[in-house]
Amino acid sequence: MSDSGVPEPGRPAPSGLWRSADFRRLWTGQTASQLGEHASVVVLPLFAVLTLHASAGQLGVLRAVGQAPILLLSLFVGAWVDRWRTRTTMVLTDAGRALALGAAAVAALLGWFGLPALLALAFVVGALSVFFDVAYQASLVRLVARDQLVRGNSALEGSRSAAQIGGPALGGALVSLLSAPVAVASSGLFFALSFLSIRRIRRTESVPERSERPPRVWRRIHEGLRFVARDTVLRSVCLASAAFQFSFAALMTVYLLFLPRELHLSGTAVGLVLGAAGPGALLGSLLAARLPNRFGYGTVLVSAAALGDGAFLCVPALHGSSALTVAALLAVGFVFGTGGQLVNVMVMAVRQAVTPDAMQGRVAATITFVGMGLTPLGSLLGGLLAQEWGLRASLLVTAAGMLLSPVVMALSPLARMGRALP
């Protein structure tokens, strides 16, 4: 261990997780990056709905384009990240997203920010986000000891889940209170902050030696797919994640239309409602470090998923924009955030515990590909249902679809896990 508190190459972080300056820099950068990513995910659709008056179908296309890189790039990114320095990958993707959003803000000021520009921006930000997300997951395993994975993931996934919902709250407020160019540029500032933090990580990261004829990308992708397919726990994680992400993508497309058009909420109120899961995510992060040791991973996983996902079934019964309606939406978001965070932290720890270090990037990318690869189709389905069936009926159907995830968990080896990681 060096005097600066930075782990020597090949050595784990010190026993106190937060004593590692490099872990704090990773956490700060990852938090800022996730906040910028999830703020932009809502800034762009809300700008399309409130300023460009996009239809339900157009909103579905916009969200699908932003999510398409998950399907198109995840497997390749996993193979590449396993052979690159994760710090370099994260720094470059942060810089790219900051520049892309800054350029979009300038284009908006010049009056060139129409739907085609939004589509292009959504795809670029989505593609770079795939690189960052795979890299930071692989980076943690190289930075901390295995007995610190749950605590490390609790910190990282806590900030990610909080940003996943808190970012939309910020994005909604920016679109409502400021001009669209400022809202877009503000999202880019978070990526700039992440860039500044992560580039200060001092740990020397080893990179696998490159042979004269390194394995082809397709071979490395196949290795990741085969490893996940043969492991019953990882296979169950993939199926449960796919069921949830497909339904959630459809639900969010409808939800982003339902709040302003059916309940007549303002942009600020929409942001507040979308951000309600932030405090729930923080609670879920705290509970994730305690409940599995008491009740077992399987019991907590299935229960948290069922409670969190089932909360949205209450939303279609709401009417109007009264204080009672807003309070009910806040409660739904809080319950969803708590349950979702519990699932996120525990699934991440399980995945990392059963995966060899040399496979972390490919396994993370494979699960991302299988779990989230259907989200573009989910977004398109949500837009189609909203157009054909109406917002209220579509919201009920997509909310019910989210319950497929806990059903898959309950029928899988995940439900039989005890108090210790595999």
| Nearest CA among 103, 81, 60 for reference residue 362 | 81
Q: What distances in angstroms separate CA 270 from CA 53, 59, 62, 302, 397, one per listed residue?
A: 16, 16, 19, 29, 21
Q: Is residue 211 part of a domain?
A: no
Neighbours of 145 (CB within 10 A): 15
Q: Is residue 100 part of a domain?
A: yes
CATH number reported for the structural domain that contains residue 236 in this entry: 1.20.1250.20
**Backbone conformation region of residue 209, classed left if phi is above 0, alpha if psi is from -120 to 50, else beta:** beta
Q: How many residues in the chain?
A: 422
Distant-in-sequence contacts of 315-321, Cβ < 8 A, 24+ apart: 315/255, 315/258, 315/395, 315/399, 316/392, 316/393, 316/395, 316/396, 316/399, 318/263, 319/263, 320/263, 320/264, 321/263, 321/264, 321/265, 321/269
pTM for the whole thing? 0.68
pLDDT beneath 70, residues of the chain: 1-16, 50-52, 82, 141-142, 144-150, 158, 161-162, 164-166, 169, 172-173, 176, 179-180, 204-215, 217, 267, 420-422
Q: Is residue 422 part of a domain?
A: no
Q: Judge whether 274 and 42 are in contact, CB under 8 Å.
A: yes
Q: Is residue 209 part of a domain?
A: no
pLDDT tens digit string along 66-96? Answer: 878 877 887 777 777 767 777 888 999 999 9
- Residue 113's domain comprises 17-203+217-416
Q: Judge whether 305 and 337 are in contact, CB under 8 Å.
A: no
Q: Is residue 5 part of a domain?
A: no
Q: Is residue 210 part of a domain?
A: no
| pLDDT at 123 (0 to 100) | 92
Q: Is residue 4 part of a domain?
A: no
CA-CA distance, 312 to 326, in Å (whole number)?
14
CA-CA distance, 388 to 397, in Å (whole number)?
13
Total domains present in the chain: 1
pLDDT tens digit string along 237-296? Answer: 888 988 998 999 899 889 988 888 888 887 677 777 877 777 887 788 788 878 888 888
**Residues near 255 by Cβ (< 8 Å), separated by ≥ 6?**
315, 395
CA-CA distance, 303 to 342, in Å (whole number)?
10
